[in-house]
Structure 1
Amino acid sequence: MAVPGTRDSQVDVFQLPSERRILTVPDVKSTKTGMIMAIRILYKKDLIAITGYESGHAAIHAHSSSDNTWQLLYLCNAHTQPILSLDASPDLTCFFTSSADATIGKHPLIAPTKTQSREHSADGPLKAVNTGHAGQQSLRVRDDGKIYATAGWDGRVRVYSTKTMKELAVLKWHEEGVYAVAFAEIDQTPTTATPAPVENRATVASTTQSLTHATGSVSQQRDAKARTTHWLAAGSKDGKVSLWDIY
């Protein structure tokens, strides 16, 4: 578990369930970033910490277990206002940042190498889009990597394509600002079945029809759909949570 550290620009990593602090991600030495605003930790060859700062900078630090040190792999300032949220793509190739400004940034998710030592402060993100909507408080990528959603201070939930970063939908229901969004996680593991021998297929078909008639009630079908839908939940300052079924 990662949380803002005892110093504003650092991150403390705790081990669970012992609740023992085991690592501290250092601050960025080359520029003033202000306090930590958003954090994501994950594994890509080693422990990676993605951080968003008050200054609008986004950074990637990689931990080396061999010498217990942190290496700054990426540093970019795609925003003019503090970063409010960030999330990584499921395939761990990129991550997205949202801010108090109207920009959404798409950044490369760099993996550590033995010889790598660079800061990308001048290179810029993979893509930065001015959405025209300031204050997108929360950003989450769906687990199939196709879309991401943001929660807006204007009470709107917006859905974007991860590939083109174009706006696909605007969800309006809340009367006050939306502060959090989340997608339901769906098991993407494909299921396979061994085909029945030709001479037994009529029997299998008859048995399947009987089972469908016996178990395929409306409530069971509804339950099955609920378990396989990419639900999108949004929480607002109005104290309400909305649930959406899109795409």
Structure 2
Amino acid sequence: MSLVVAPAEGETPPPATGSGPTPDPTSAAGGQGGGGWVGMSGSADSTLGFFRVDAAAGRLEFLGSQTLPSAGISDIAIRRDARVAATAHWDGRVRLWHARKRAPLGVLRYHSKAAAAVALGGARGGLLATGGRDGAVAVWSVYATPQARDG
């Protein structure tokens, strides 16, 4: 299992954890949202799970799940503000989500084989990079943060 967390501004991130020497088909990611860390998890089945972590209380709360149209999630990334998330799928698609609302935002089609990796970031918060088993890398402009749009 891999775990990625994005600290709130001014906070120290927890120690990094990752998969062992053998690949694990499960992915998890988290970002700071109102009321604790917001997270998502997925694996070889067609279920995307949503959860919240309250580190101070030592509590993990399951928020619900979505059944996806096809099985296989390779990677998950959640933007630092926990508004936008991206999931990489074995069918070559990348799905965008509103992480806090657990709502789909859109589907990106580019890779001819499985989408293997996703990363959200950029100085203005509006870049998504995707990598696929087809050897291609794509960079997308997606949903800049409100501060980036205003300034």
TM-score norm. by structure 1 comes to: 0.47
The C-alpha deviation readout for 1:48-100, integer Å capped at 9, x for no partner, is: 569799xxxxxxxxxxxxxxxxxxxxxxxxxxxx7621111134422111211
The C-alpha deviation readout for 1:24-65, integer Å capped at 9, x for no partner, is: xxxxxxxxxxxxx21347889998569799xxxxxxxxxxxx
Question: Contact (CA 8 Å) 2:6, 2:32: kept in 1 or not?
Answer: no
Q: Is 1:109–2:53 an aligned residue pair?
A: yes
Match of 2:3 among 33, 39, 46: 39
Q: What is the aligned partner in structure 1 of residue 30 from structure 2?
A: 88
Correspondences of 1:1-247 after superposition (within 5 Å): 37-40=1-4, 48=14, 84-91=26-33, 92-112=36-56, 125-186=62-123, 228=124, 230-247=126-143
The C-alpha deviation readout for 1:153-178, integer Å capped at 9, x for no partner, is: 00001101113322211111111111
Secondary structure of the 1:239 match is coil
Q: What is the aligned partner in structure 2 of residue 213 from structure 1?
A: none
1:235 is aligned with what amino acid?
G
2:141 is aligned with what amino acid?
D
Aligned residues: CA RMSD: 3.1
Secondary structure of the 1:132 match is coil
The C-alpha deviation readout for 1:205-241, integer Å capped at 9, x for no partner, is: xxxxxxxxxxxxxxxxxxxxxxx36111100011110
Secondary structure of the 2:77 match is strand
Q: Which runs of 5+ in 2 are unaligned?
A: 144-151
Greater fraction of residues in strand: 2
1:147 is aligned with what amino acid?
V
Greater fraction of residues in helix: 1
Greater RCO (CA < 8 Å, at least 6 residues apart): 2
Residues 1:241 and 1:168: Cα distance change in structure 2 (over 3 Å): same
Alignment partners' CA distance in 2, 1:90 and 1:243: 24
Question: Contact (CA 8 Å) 1:107, 1:127: kept in 2 or not?
Answer: yes
Secondary structure of the 2:26 match is strand
Identical-residue share of aligned pairs (%): 30
Residues 1:126 and 1:52: Cα distance change in structure 2 (over 3 Å): farther
2:31 is aligned with what amino acid?
S
Q: Which runs of 5+ in 1 are unaligned?
A: 1-36, 54-81, 187-227
1:111 is aligned with what amino acid?
A
TM-score norm. by structure 2 comes to: 0.73
